[in-house]
Structure 1
Amino acid sequence: MPTTSHTHSYYAASANDKTARPTLQEHVTADICIIGAGFTGMSTALHMAEKGYKVVVLEGSRIGFGASGRNGGQIVNSYSRDIDFIERHYGEKVGAEMGQMAFEGGRIIRRFVQQYGIQCDLKDGGLFAACNSKQFDELVGKQKLWESHGHKQLELLDRQAIQQYVGSERYTGGLLDHSGGHFHPLNLVLGEAAAVESLGGVIYENSPALRIREGDKAVVHTEEGCVEADYVLVAGNAYLNGLLPKLESKAMPCGTQVITTEPLLEEVQRRLLPKDNCVEDCNYLLDYFRLSGDGRLIYGGGVTYGAREPEKVESLIVPKMLKTFPELKGVKIDYAWTGNFLLTLMRLPQFGRIGSNVYYAQGYSGHGITCTHLAGKVISDAIQGQAERFDIFSNLPQYPFPGGRMFRIPLTAMGAWYYNLRDQLGI
């Protein structure tokens, strides 16, 4: 059965719109049926609705129920694997083409927020923080790499300069991306949903897709109804629940954990994050944090492979928070939650087609906020016959994890342990 409520998170508690959409209980028609009301689904729906298409969205639970409504809320440019990795593995041409798109998602988010008046506490500035000299050298390289692809809004910070942005002794320096930023993710996706509806789109909640019948007109069946459409987009990411087994075998659900403190005194907020930027460190299993619109510290990190739900999120994340900000010892934690994202073997998103009119996009590997919004633009263009950019993604090889269903989780966890140990040793 679908889940009728959001996880117990700060985002759900402070959501602007708690209106429940109806369950699909009839046969309806559409130009496009989108499965999944997260960022990929909503960005595609909004781009399509803006162009006059009749859009129907099926959400198995609630709008933003999955990663889109549970994440750290940070605008981080590029992909989980950066452009230099893409160049090395797939060639300079593919690297250049993906480099041209790497900074577009954040601009799409800002356009949606401004054009549709979405209230989501959007603030500018995102910081990559180096925990050792090796990571700082890598940030120097990142700045050169991004600038070579036209992204000039970067500022390198040494150990002294980063103290103006983060009140912690952990960091040897950082790279400030002035085009980065942070926001309330559930309120963003809810605002995007309202924008879709304002343009005539229809969203059904608690209506999980059970099967797709392919054909000139695809039909998506739910328990009590169906949608007949010219096109279908499968955008369930880590929450497909058996809809397309071949698609699910290409990636692995993983969990990340987040906590939110009680509201902090303004003087404490200014000490922790004087410029109110968001931060992520450069470790393989990274920490990320920022202030909410009402002055709480939102702190996340760590990965559980295979989407296992840890029993006590606080016990995993509070020690990380205190390592960064010891002065918060004893602070009250008001919310703690976990959520699933979808990891691919190459840490690059997977776009593709099934037949001629069923599209999919998934596997952002923990780096999805900007790329999901880019995906909506790229997919909508492809449906209208401009598929060049979509095909850049869809032509990337999509490998299964080694070890099959039984061994992929322990093998991946072993690899993560190795890279985490390298981070700890600074090598």
Structure 2
Amino acid sequence: MAERRRWWLRVQALLEHWPAYARGTGPQRGLMVGALIGLLVGGLVGGVLGFLNRGIPGAIVGGVSAGVVAMAAAAALGWSIPRRKVHLSADIEFEDTRESYQPGDVLSGFVVLRSDGSALIERATIKLSCVGRFVHDTLPDDGTERVVYARSEKVYASETAVPVRLVRLHRGSEVRFPFTFALPLQALPTHHGFGCVIRWMLDLAVEARYPVDAVRREVVVASVPAEAPGGSSLAAVTCDAFQLSLSLPQLQYAEGDSVQGHVLITPNGGAAIKELRLALVRVERLTEGDGHIVYFAERDPAEAEVVGNRQPAENGTTYVWLEQHETLADGIKLDGARPARYPFTMPLARYYRPSVATAEGMVRWQLSAIASRDGLPEVQAALRLEVYTAAKSVGRVLSRGAASG
């Protein structure tokens, strides 16, 4: 059985040089194989019988007549024989094992095609694209408080390659075809937020006579810090009773790092502070919307259904997420002019939410020191941070099913 299979595979390899056979469907290939077998066998048998009966003229007439009849019959039989359905599969493999890419990097890999039978692949197209999806909420005109979410989409980059054209796969074959893309130097970073989502995707589509599921892979593109290093920064606010200062050694941080600094309170006289706390917020500001701000206390919007505190604003839509908060002290009594120093360390979680800015929306981070007093307005000193994702292998190539968004 194995020897016969190897023999048939060798015959198929020879037939592949015949263009009509190479491009034919299963029934068409069966018709051609049947016609060839019928012509050869019928012609041989008819020729032998004709030769025995009437010599060489009989061999010619018998061979041609029997060959034509046998060719027609065998071709019809080859066309009508039911064939096993061929299953094709496709995949994307990356050439290296890096977990993330940076702007300007080269992304290379292979389109992998597998088949459990003979099948012609017309072409395989792979596309690298960067798509931004933006969500903003609106209130319906019926006067209810039910929030309606509107979505928009923007394609920031798209490049297509065709690494496969007119390839015949045989039973049990697995073939790899290389592809290469260069990420733009100004590539937007991957961002998995709520109002702002930016993703880089590889989409593979295969055109064949048998169905092949589309393949999608997400490629994480990390953001890099600005060329100019963030220097020491200080924010100070003075009220009637004290000065509140927030000091950091730098303003650029990678996800996974810790923000270290200190808060300094310098009294102008006797006063009492009910609570001194830190708040790290992520602000998503979108250009679309009816003019409002929504404040969310939950750290991660994906963990639960969240209900925000909606406030009016001048334009657009702004979502403010409380990412981290910490109480540094409570019940502080200030006496004289001696300053009080409160050091802190606040970690930045890895959620793929770096600072980013586009025409459709922007995301920024802000750290605030807040002093609250009984019966008086809060005093707040704030610094804007730049958060990036290029450090410590933050990115990861995520596999997604073809139906994932």
Larger Cα-atom Rg: 2
Give the TM-score normalised by structure 2: 0.21
Higher relative contact order, structure no. (Cα contacts within 8 Å, ≥ 6 residues apart): 1
Which protein has the bigger helix share?
1
Which protein has the bigger strand share?
2
